[in-house]
């Protein structure tokens, strides 16, 4: 019998209890041990429910109970999660978490403690919800040098963009629906401003490189400026718009960013819709590989948490995770990253505005929508971000150009 404790009875915590309730016998069989939930730490009491007798309000009940071998942190946020997780590891308990904020900020330190104690710090559910991605990066793809990761890592924003594109919904209505369905973070900015995806790509890149990637070094832009009109343009380009987390490693540098991007409908990520996430990886041996599944929601996330609990039970005295060193990866400054950008230009004189665009972006072709008679769009050449920004600033001063209505990166 292995006793575990769950920290937090929110969406994911209650999902974990539900998964055990549904599949207890097969989970025990796979773990080759019976797993028992001994405590649930929460501020609330839940009187009259099945979990009433498991509830504690005092973390020390768990910390100092040596029968508890595995602590499952599903509270989210940095504190008190970090303090509880660190204390648990130092006390010799393995920890399973779904908390990407925690892993992105303290992963290197917590992995090191687990390695020193010969126990485990596992976090499959922190990226991609129910999609197995941490374990493949840790085990199956270790023969490869991974040189590109491109992912749709946030279910809420993918849901919103899908609803905007396919159901003609406004951004606000689609966000509200995502929140009602329990996909969104408590603070919607974490999803729609790209912060959640930023932490997730930092975790994947840290694992791929074996070195700490500071999420604060990753350029991050959300989807709040994306409109129906942008989707209309994307459609004429036989493309769609996704919030992409991108990391690429060349011989000389590594860059990473989170931003909306126009991608061709031919791209494998273009068909990833609704709350689904996908991670597209390129390795120098395996070539291209893609992971796909539900990236948010109670049960998909709980499924990944429980799989980690089983792994922790099976490897009680053996550390199985690669650790990544605390040494920081140098991420290329976003200004120096080379990109294509889609630009919407509003004009008060078409011919002058067209000539101005040709002056700065001579190879670009204008894109017009029949429904709009005061603007056109174009795609820049493949240039450094800073050079494009400087040229667009100059463009704005030219005769005929009224304003720039939106700028979206294009992934080719
Ligand atoms: N808010 C997150 C998302 C939940 O929408 O993907 C899973 O991390």
The whole-number pLDDT of residue 185 equals 72
Catalytic hit among 93, 163, 200, 249: 200
pLDDT over 90 at 179, yes or no: no
What is the pLDDT, as a whole number, of residue 322? 79
Residue to substitute in 74, 76, 128, 155 for testing ligand 1 pocket (most ligand atoms within 8 angstroms of CB): 155
Binned at pLDDT 50, 70 and 90, residue 296 comes out as: confident
Q: What is the pLDDT of residues 354-384, one digit of tens each?
A: 999 999 999 999 999 999 999 999 999 999 9
Q: Is the CB of 191 under 6 A from ligand 1?
A: yes
Ligand 1 centre to CA of 355 (Å) is: 44
What pLDDT was estimated at residue 257?
A: 98
Does the pLDDT value for residue 40 go beyond 80?
Answer: yes
Q: pLDDT value at position 15?
A: 97
* pLDDT of res. 146: 93
Q: Is 296 in the pocket of ligand 1 (CB under 6 A)?
A: yes
Pocket test for ligand 1, best of 99, 196, 303 (most atoms within 8 A of CB): 196
pLDDT at 333: 97
Question: Is the pLDDT higher at 140 or at 403?
Answer: 403
Interstrand relation of 276-283 and 338-347 (parallel, antiparallel or unpaired) = unpaired
Task: Express as a percent the part of the chain with pLDDT over 90.
Answer: 90
User: Rounded to an integer, what distance in angstroms lies between the CA atom of residue 35 and that of residue 72?
Assistant: 13
| Range in 50-64, 93-107, 288-302 with the lowest mean pLDDT | 288-302
Atom of ligand 1 lying closest to residue 157 CA: 5
Q: State both tokens at 192.
A: 């729609």
Across-strand partners of 276? 294
Cα(288)–Cα(284) distance, integer angstroms: 9
Confidence of residue 337 (pLDDT cuts 50, 70, 90): very high
pLDDT tens digits along 93-124: 999 999 999 999 999 999 999 999 999 999 99
Using the predicted structure, report yes or no on whether residue 248 has a pLDDT greater than 80: yes
| C-alpha 189 – ligand 1 centre gap (Å) | 12
Average pLDDT, rounded, for the chain:
95
Name 302's Cβ contacts closer than 8 Å, sequence gap at least 6.
12, 15, 16, 18, 19, 125
Q: How confident is the model at residue 141 (pLDDT cuts 50, 70, 90)?
A: confident
Maximum pairwise Cα distance, the chain:
78
For the full predicted model, state whether its pTM sits above 0.75: yes
CA of 62 to the centre of ligand 1 (A): 28
Other Cβ atoms less than 10 A from the Cβ of 289: the count is: 15
pLDDT band (50, 70, 90) for residue 276: very high
Q: Looking at residue 262, what is its pLDDT?
A: 98
What would the two tokens of residue 84 be?
């509880």
How far does the centroid of ligand 1 lie from the alpha carbon of residue 387, in Å? 34
Residue 272 Cα, ligand 1 centroid: separation in angstroms? 15
Q: Is the pLDDT of residue 184 over 90?
A: no
Confidence of residue 342 (pLDDT cuts 50, 70, 90): very high
Kindly give the distance from the C-alpha atom of residue 159 to the centroid of ligand 1, in angstroms, as a whole number. Answer: 10
Residue 404's pLDDT band (boundaries 50, 70, 90)?
A: very high
Across the range 46-69, mean pLDDT stands at 98
Q: Is 212:328 a contact under the CB 8 Å cutoff?
A: yes
User: How far is 102 from 89, CA to CA, in rounded Å?
Assistant: 14
Q: Ligand 1 test: best mutation among 125, 127, 152, 154, most atoms within 8 Å of CB?
A: 154
Mean pLDDT confidence for 228-253: 96
**Average pLDDT of the segment spanning 263-276:** 96
- Residue 100 CA: which ligand 1 atom is closest? 8
Question: Which percentage of the chain shows pLDDT scores above 70?
Answer: 100
Please, which pLDDT band fits residue 196 given cuts at 50, 70 and 90? very high
Average confidence (pLDDT) over 183-209: 92
Note the pLDDT of residue 297. Answer: 85
Task: Please tell me whether the peptide bond between 80 and the residue prior to it is cis, using omega within 30 degrees of 0.
Answer: yes
Do the beta carbons of residue 215 and residue 199 sit within 8 Å? yes
> Quick one: which atom of ligand 1 is closest to the CA of 178?
5
| Residue 154, ligand 1, Cβ within 6 A | yes
* 200 is annotated as an active-site residue: yes
pLDDT above 90: residue 335: yes
């Amino acid at each position: 019998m292995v006793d575990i404790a769950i920290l937090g009875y929110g969406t994911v915590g209650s999902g974990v209890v539900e998964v055990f309730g549904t599949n207890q016998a097969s989970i025990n069989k796979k773990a080759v041990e019976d797993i028992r939930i001994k405590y649930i730490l929460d501020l609330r009491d839940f009187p009259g429910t099945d979990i009433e007798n498991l509830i504690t309000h005092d973390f020390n009940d768990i910390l100092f109970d040596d029968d508890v071998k595995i602590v499952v942190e599903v509270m989210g946020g940095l504190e008190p999660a970090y303090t509880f997780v660190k204390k648990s590891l130092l006390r010799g308990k393995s920890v399973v978490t779904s908390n990407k904020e925690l892993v992105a900020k303290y992963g290197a330190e917590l992995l090191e403690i687990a390695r020193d104690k010969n126990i485990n710090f596992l976090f499959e559910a922190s990226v991609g919800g129910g999609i197995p991605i941490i374990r493949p990066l840790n085990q199956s793809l270790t023969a490869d040098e991974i040189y590109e990761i491109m992912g749709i890592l946030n279910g809420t924003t993918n849901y919103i963009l899908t609803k905007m594109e396919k159901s003609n919904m406004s951004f606000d209505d689609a966000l509200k629906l995502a929140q009602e369905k329990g996909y969104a973070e408590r603070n919607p900015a974490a999803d729609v401003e790209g912060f959640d995806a930023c932490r997730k790509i930092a975790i994947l890149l840290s694992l791929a490189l074996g070195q700490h990637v500071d999420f604060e070094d990753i350029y991050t832009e959300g989807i709040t400026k994306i409109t129906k009109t942008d989707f209309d343009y994307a459609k004429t380009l036989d493309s769609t718009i996704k919030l992409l987390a991108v990391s690429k490693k060349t011989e000389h540098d590594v860059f990473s960013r989170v931003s909306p991007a126009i991608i061709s409908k031919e791209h494998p990520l273009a068909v990833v819709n609704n709350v689904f996430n996908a991670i597209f990886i390129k390795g120098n041996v395996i070539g291209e590989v893609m992971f796909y599944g539900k990236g948010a929601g109670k049960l998909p996330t709980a499924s990944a948490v429980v799989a980690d609990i089983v792994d922790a039970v099976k490897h009680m005295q053996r550390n199985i995770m690669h650790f990544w060193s605390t040494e920081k990866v140098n991420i290329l400054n976003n200004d120096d990253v080379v990109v294509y950008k889609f630009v919407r230009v509003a004009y008060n004189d078409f011919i002058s505005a067209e000539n101005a665009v040709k002056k700065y972006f001579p190879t670009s072709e204008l894109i017009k929508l029949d429904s709009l008679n005061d603007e056109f769009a174009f795609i820049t050449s493949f240039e450094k971000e800073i050079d494009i920004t400087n040229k667009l600033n100059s463009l704005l001063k030219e005769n005929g150009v009224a304003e720039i209505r939106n700028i979206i990166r294009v992934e080719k």
